[in-house]
A and B are shown apart, each in its own frame.
Chain A
Amino acid sequence: MYSLLLKHETKTLVRTPAFAWILLLLAAAVAIGAWAGGAHLGRIERGASYYLADATADRAKLRSDLERYEERVAARGEQVQIAAYSHTQRGAVPQGTNAGSVGVKAAEIATLPPTGIQAFSVGQSDLLLSYVPVTTAGLTTALQASEMGNPVNLKRGPFDLSFVVIFLLPIFILAISYDMLSSEKERGTLAMVLANPLSLQKLMSSKVVSRAVIILGVIAALGFGSLLTVGTALGEPDTWARFGVWLAATLLYAVFWFLLSVFVNALGRNSATNGIILAGAWLAFVVVIPTLVSVGATTMYPAPSRFDFITASREAQTDSERNYMRELNQYYYDHVEHVPEERVNDFLSVTRAKNDAVERAVAPLFAEFRSQQIKQDQLVSNFQFVSPAIMMQRVLNDVTGVSAARYHRFVDQVQAFREQWVSYFTVRFLTATPMRSAEFDEFPKFQYEEEPVSAVVTRSLPSIGGIIVILVLLGGAAMATLRRYQVASR
């Protein structure tokens, strides 16, 4: 009887023109979301490729100048000299001989590579720069730079798959399920159907299962299609593991909205009231609560503004200009093991010393910025359980690779790499060791060390677990309410 009912419900549903339209709209939304995410990712990757090409060309030029110079010197049987630092090439000795110059001019572009499903979510990647030039000059400016974008577009947000899943999918689900029982009741067919040997629970189950199976199947198919079209590194298990978590979370989120609809239907109100309750729930869970939590987090733990950074940098810059000898002493003190016999107050040493002073001055602000961001994130994490949309957003950001945690990891690695870079060139610079062209292959190289996908899953577990707990509670509440359902109007 149940399978017959399920078949009947599915057939009726499939033949409903409105349902076909909803599926079509869902497919269109997913296609647009995947395309927009892919286009955004392509734009960022193009930006990074320009930086890489520039850096490669600059380094190749330094090296080829140096190679020619080495050949010339070898032919004459002379010693390799070290060029004084200069913005442009001056004199016969090339800048490539000076490790201090090379450390500034031959930037290494530290790149945060996209995950296999990063095109699924833009997150904050439209603002946070995923390619940072690392030189011996300070990192402050490079890390404060943000990706370019029209502020109007940033305010409106991207039409990516995360938006489709979190915002639009619930609307489609509610549109096909808000009147599952109420419409039967209003048409007067509910009592007739239940005159058969069939419980209300089974009737409701057949209605929701028929809808859910189709919608979940379509989502899975569309998600898979998106992966094949805009996904990258499809040969990597990491990509498929991330996609698996993405799909599981998306399906659970969809089930939440189906169950909410079942619960509201079980209240026994008319279709219009169901519609209003569910639209209100959507507004509250998807729009209002996430906004309030976000505003609460940024109000309670405000991060230092860009203006604070600029002011601190300027003050430190002015101070170091005035006391450049003090900064130079500090610089030599910091590198005491490599201090040259004759301390030189040349332009590059003084500049390095001043740069270090500015970096030291803004370091506490960076630390505060990070600390406030972590507190904001912790607050959102604590309050995520009040809205499945927040839980879902956290999972999607994490699994697609646009989470704050992954970006912090990238910045930490960039900062550690910069120290390695500075150390490599500073030792040679201070000990007045001329750079040789062969050494260009030995420069430190940045390689982002991705965290294992198991770490991402572990971080997502509270959010996914939260959704599951809500599903269980909501399912139980729906069943209990359904038992008290009045089939006939009093």
Chain B
Amino acid sequence: MRLARASGCFSLSYLAYGVIFLFVTLGVSAVAGSPRTALIALVGFWAFSAFIMPKAAAEISKIVTPTAALGEFDARLQETRRTGFGGPTPRERLAEYRQSLLDQYQVADVADLPVYWVALSMQRLEEMDHEFFDHYYKGLDNSYLEQRRLQDALGVLAPTLPLSSISMGLSGTDLLHQRDFVNAAEETRRAMVDKVNAYLAEMAASFNANLREGATTDIESNDRVLVADEAVFQMVDPVRYSPPTLNTVLGEYRMAFLVLALWIIVALIFARIAVGRIGIQTR
């Protein structure tokens, strides 16, 4: 059903695109003084719409919503991971958490905790990282979406722009689908890490002894080994992914549909007026 509806919307969009070019061709042929002028104007319109405007729109969207290069993005993210968003740094927050655990279990050293400190600290660091990564990557996703939405709006100058967005969206090859999938994968990963760390925190408490001053960390001579059984692997749920619904896709591309509809109306009016003028001249 979804496929049929998506295919219908897909076909209608391309049909609309064809109709726009039909009416524009009709109108230009009627208005132009000679077939030569009409031809040049139409080839120019096509080249503008198909080649010039998509690139120009991309450049404009980059000016309006700039995004950082990898080096800058990565450096800012790493800096935030070191210093946080103001307030206590992640390291300070981890120290506070450590102290709260020591207080809770009434011990002086993490080596004496009845829960595995490394697993708990990894989980806490993970959770802090979620804040930072979400801030940067969701911000980046939003910038990309804003760039594309602006390009859709610039489609008032070239119908190819909204059509290409709609085409990618309905085919599921756009950023919306990709980000949705990546976010779902990330949620699965986070849930898995959460479960594994919780398991480790409980089951590997004896590993705390490694944290004692002077304890050996030599892998060969270290006899503290935790063997994961089948049950451990079963605590991670199988991944089930559902792509965004068609309504979500249509909602995301409403501007593109609107612009395409606007083009049909304007092209129709233009063709009608232009053809009407021929009638007056021939009488």
Contact = CB atoms under 8 A, between A and B. Distances in A.
B217 A163 contact: no
Interface stretch (A72-80, A288-296, A343-351, A378-386): A343-351
Nearest to B48: A171
Interface in B11-28: none
A201 to B, nearest CB: 24
Contacts of A153: 58, 61-62, 147
| Secondary structure type dominating chain B contacts | helix
Contacts of A175: 40, 44
Given A158-B55, A159-B59, A150 B144 contact: yes
Given A152-B151, A272-B39, A159 B55 contact: yes
Given A48-B71, A159-B55, A150 B47 contact: no
Contact of A168 (B52, B63, B76, B147): B52
Given A50-B74, A152-B144, A271 B55 contact: no
Interface stretch (A141-149, A236-244, A448-456, A459-467): A141-149
Nearest to B78: A54
Nearest to A159: B55
Given A44-B69, A152-B151, A171-B47, A50 B219 contact: no
B59 A158 contact: yes
A271 B36 contact: yes
A51 B218 contact: no
B49 to A, nearest CB: 13
Given A150-B67, A346-B218, A159 B56 contact: yes
A50 B58 contact: no
A36 B76 CA distance: 24
A279 interface: yes
Nearest to A325: B220
B115 interface: no
Contacts of B168: 152
B58 A152 contact: yes
B70 interface: yes
A47 B217 contact: no
Contacts of B52: 159, 168
Nearest to B51: A167
A104 B232 CA distance: 33
B128 interface: no
Size category of the binding interface on chain A? 35 or more
Contacts of A163: 55
A93 interface: no
A431 to B, nearest CB: 19
Instruction: Give the secondary structure class of A's interface.
Output: helix
Contact of A150 (B73, B91, B148, B165): B148
B55 A279 contact: no
A157 B220 contact: no
B54 interface: yes
Contacts of B151: 152
A276 interface: yes
B251 interface: no
B72 to A, nearest CB: 4
A39 B151 CA distance: 19
A36 B55 CA distance: 10
A150 B151 CA distance: 12
Contacts of B59: 32, 36, 158-159
A36 B62 CA distance: 10
B88 interface: no
B75 interface: yes
A181 B165 CA distance: 43
B35 interface: yes
B182 interface: no
B175 interface: yes
Given A168-B52, A272-B39, A276-B39, A149 B67 contact: yes
B207 to A, nearest CB: 15
A47 B70 contact: yes
Interface string A165-203: 001100100010001000000000000000000000000
Interface of B: 34-36, 39-40, 43-44, 47, 51-52, 54-59, 61-63, 66-76, 78, 91, 140, 143-144, 147-148, 151, 165, 168, 174-175, 178, 217-220
24 contacts: A32-B59, A43-B69, A50-B71, A50-B76, A53-B75, A146-B70, A148-B68, A148-B69, A148-B70, A149-B67, A150-B61, A150-B144, A150-B148, A150-B175, A152-B147, A153-B62, A156-B54, A156-B57, A157-B54, A159-B56, A159-B58, A270-B36, A279-B39, A344-B218
